[in-house]
Amino acid sequence: MSRNYLKKADLTAASGADDVRDTVQSILNDIEARGDAGALEYAAKFDRYEGNIKLTPAEIEAAAALVPEKLKQDIQFAHDNVRRFAEAQMATMKDIEVEVVPGLIAGQKSIPVRTAGCYIPGGRYSHIASAIMTVTTASVAGCENIIACSPPRPDVGIAPAIIYAAHICGANSILALGGVQGVAAMAFGLFDLPKADILVGPGNQFVAEAKRILFGRVGIDMFAGPTDSLILADKTADAAIVAADLVGQAEHGYNSPVWLVTDDQALAERVLELVPGLIADLPELNAKNAEAAWRDYAEVIVCDTREEMAATSDDYAPEHLTVQAEDLDWWLGRLKCYGSLFLGEETTVAFGDKASGTNHVLPTSGAAKYTGGLSVHKYMKIVTWQRATREGAKPVAEATARISRLEGMEGHARTADIRLAKYFPDEDFDLTAAM
């Protein structure tokens, strides 16, 4: 496969990552041992916040009053889109039953987890959309308890728009806590709340590590690293739009990889010319993030054919994948590894990030090779059941007894024997293990 790197990354998303595990484990242990008091202490230390943690209805109402009406309408628009898409996903989940053999019926049933803990970032940026993405899907899935948790601003509290979004999307409780202490509060059931059965939502490396450590005791949506995006573009793509989309995703953070894969070298060279100016034109903090991400993590790759482009994309398995090329149906059918796909220049990752309806909590760092993003399905337990008539149980019991004895599991075999002896006392069965 021919891949010509016009720009090669010096670093990867894993490069230079701080070893935060010991720190996070220590905080989790301390909070679990000391409960609410421990969480409050870390809130004062890290969030520099000593206000009310569990928001009251009056505080939620007061926050909503601070949100401009136009922004409320935008939040409602995005919520409606995410809800409609989630409802359509739910419609694909059907309880089933099938008669496996005559008299033996097996079934599948979908049951939502009882309590979802939704982490909503609120540090460098106020992630209103994360409240919409996580809380709405939990609500549509049918979770009984939905806890939203977001970092408070020092001496101020959670951004009013985040509070408003979490509330209208269905959060039963809202906690003004950030970082590890916020994750711990949801996982351990602090502040008189039920323990979360699943933790979802993006966050910084400390939040991600807390979820990783707690996985097993609770479910999580996925192991998350820095956000990443890849664009597939051919000669028909608009270089200005491609460059703007790359920069738009690079502003997430200093270690957020963005990649361009194309079969048109002239397009690649033009994008390389445009990106620095677009970064320089951003607000200072955004520009700082995008500049570092572009300098250290971005790549521009030229391939010979569109098949090589698709294969390259599948190897990278990006969180966000954009196609700005001819024959979009071919790409839709060919591409296999991505978190969310954006076909044509008429859509962009930012649409999915904020308001189009698909979820923006997606697999990063190549995890799209084996998993998809957050959806109603993440909150559902797919369980099975069975029942049988005595005649239906007969052949199953015979096979079970013989297989169990072959495995050396005599106790298992005897649970089949006793049923055959009770139901069919006049029959003689060969239940020995044949080698």
pLDDT band of residue 122 (cuts 50, 70, 90) is: confident
Cβ(90)–Cβ(111) below 8 Å: no
320 is catalytic: yes
Query: At 435, is the pLDDT very low, low, confident or very high (cuts 50, 70, 90)?
Result: low
Residue 3, pLDDT score: 87
Opening angle at CA 328, ends 325 and 334, nearest 5: 105
Domain boundary among 372, 397, 426: 372
The answer as to whether 419 is a domain residue is yes
Torsion sign, CA atoms 399, 405, 407, 411? positive
Query: Tokens 């409606």 map to which residue?
Result: 80
Instruction: Examine the pLDDT at 110 and tell me if it is beyond 90.
Output: yes
Assign residue 54 a region (left: φ > 0; alpha: ψ between -120 and 50; beta: otherwise).
beta
Residues 232, 214 share a domain: no
Strand-pair partners of 155: none
User: Which pLDDT score, from 0 to 100, does residue 391 have?
Assistant: 97
Distances (CA, A) of 74 to 70, 77, 355, 356, 426: 6, 5, 8, 11, 73
Tokens, residue 43: 């809130």
Residues 308 and 194 in one domain: no
pLDDT of residue 406: 94
Q: 347 exposed, middle or buried (CB, 10 Å; 0-12, 13-18, 19+)?
A: middle
Q: Determine the Cα angle at 410 with ends 407 and 414, to 5°.
A: 125
Question: Domain check: are 179 and 201 in the same one?
Answer: yes
Is 0.85 surpassed by the pTM of this model? yes
Where among 166, 186, 221 does a domain terminate?
Answer: 221
Average pLDDT value for the chain: 95
What is the per-residue pLDDT across 269-327, written as a single tens digit (0 to 9) for each?
A: 999 999 999 999 999 999 999 999 999 999 999 999 999 999 999 999 999 999 999 99
21 within domain boundaries: no
14: pLDDT strictly greater than 70:
no
Q: Which of 320, 326, 345, 410 is catalytic?
A: 320
Q: Is residue 273 part of a domain?
A: yes
* Residue ranges making up the domain that contains 193: 35-221
Instruction: Tell me phi and psi for residue 132, to 5 degrees.
Output: -65, -45
Please give the pLDDT value at position 6: 87
Which residue, 221, 241, 271, sits at the end of a domain?
Answer: 221
Domain assignment present for residue 53? The answer is yes
**Does the pLDDT value for residue 18 go beyond 80?**
no
Question: CA-CA distance, 227 to 206, in Å (whole number)?
Answer: 15
Of 227, 225, 232, which is closest to residue 342 (Cα–Cα)?
A: 232
Q: Based on the domain organization, do 216 and 100 belong to the same domain?
A: yes
DSSP string, 128-166: HHHHHHHHHHHHHHT-SEEEEEEPPBTTTBS-HHHHHHH
Report if residue 384 sits inside a domain. no
Q: Which residues contact 301 (CB under 8 A, 6 or more apart)?
A: 3, 4, 5, 6, 259, 260, 261, 262, 312
Q: Per residue in 217-239, pLDDT tens?
A: 999 999 888 999 999 999 999 99
Q: What is the pLDDT of residue 11?
A: 79
Which structure tokens are listed for 193?
Answer: 């709340």
In a domain, 317, yes or no: yes
Q: Which of 209, 251, 291, 319 is catalytic?
A: 319
Mean pLDDT of 318-344: 98
The full DSSP string for 52-121 is -SB--HHHHHHHHHTS-HHHHHHHHHHHHHHHHHHHHHHHT---EEEEEETTEEEEEEEEE-SEEEEE--
Look at the chain and report how many structural domains it folds into.
3
> Is 77 in contact with 355 (CB distance < 8 Å)?
yes
The answer to whether 272 and 242 are in contact (CB under 8 A) is no
Q: 236 and 330: one domain? A: yes
Residues 232 and 217 in one domain: no
Q: What percent of the chain has pLDDT over 70?
A: 97
The percentage of the chain sitting over the pLDDT mark of 90, rounded to a whole number, equals 91
Mean pLDDT on 354-358: 96
> pLDDT class for 7, splitting at 50, 70, 90?
confident
Per-residue pLDDT tens over the stretch 234-270: 999 999 999 999 999 999 999 999 999 999 999 999 9
Is 60 exceeded by the pLDDT of residue 165?
yes
Same domain? 155 vs 201? yes
CA 362/CA 276 separation, integer angstroms: 28
Average pLDDT in the 204-227 region?
94
Q: Which of 250, 244, 248 is nearest to 289 (CA)?
A: 250
pLDDT at 434: 67
Q: Rounded mean pLDDT of 193-207? A: 95
Q: What share of the chain is helix, strand, coil (3-state, %, to 5)?
A: 50, 20, 35
- 24 domain residue, yes or no: no
- For residue 250 the two structure tokens come to 């690079």
User: Quick check: is 252 catalytic?
Assistant: no
One-character DSSP codes across 361-429: ----TTGGGT-----GGGGEEEEEEEEE-HHHHHHHHHHHHHHHHHHT-HHHHHHHHHHHHHH-TT---
- Mean predicted confidence (pLDDT) in 95-109: 97
For 42, the token pair is 């870390």
Beta pairing partners, 112: 380
Can you give the CATH number for the domain in which 309 is found? 3.40.50.1980
In a shared domain, residues 217 and 232: no
In a domain, 158, yes or no: yes
Residues 103 and 172 in one domain: yes
Label residue 201 left, alpha or beta by phi (over 0 means left) and psi (-120 to 50 means alpha). Answer: left
**355 and 430 together in one domain:** no
Decide if pLDDT at 105 tops 70.
yes
Structure tokens belonging to residue 379: 């909150």
Stretch among 18-22, 117-121, 212-216, 316-320 having the lowest mean pLDDT: 18-22
Residues 200 and 109 in one domain: yes
Q: Please check whether residues 249 and 130 belong to one and the same domain.
A: no
Higher pLDDT, 127 or 264: 264
